[in-house]
Structure 1
């Protein structure tokens, strides 16, 4: 009986330590400026002008013109994951 309890406690401990592991450390810096810019243009977290009315001033100065719709649709297809 005590072996079962020890096994249960050890299993819970291991699950708690390794269950929510992320591939990238959460506390790491976001990376160089160019990396952040490429990431923002790839994911485009700003409001989509095609989905609704234009929101003036929602985008930063360097991202005023979003990618065209055909380019946005082919981002995954042209990547290594889509091939």
Structure 2
């Protein structure tokens, strides 16, 4: 296999989905994350991501393992999130 390192720079939902997908990919090497954006991403999802010593820990909760914080998004964009 050729090792793959997908890059995520589009937001918390694609970060979570990419991490979950890579857990079932045999040639997964690493998921590149924009660490400078993690603080903002943490405000958007519940529960917050677990990142320890440079490792992103995938949730074992159902689905993607995180819920969007709609109230935060509504305050941020100034409208209803559907």
TM category (shorter chain) comes to under 0.3
More helix by proportion, 1 or 2?
A: 1
Normalization by structure 1: what TM-score? 0.25
Question: Which of these two proteins has the greater Rg computed from alpha carbons?
Answer: 1
Give the structure with the larger strand fraction. Answer: 2
Larger RCO, structure (CA 8 Å, separation 6 or more): 2
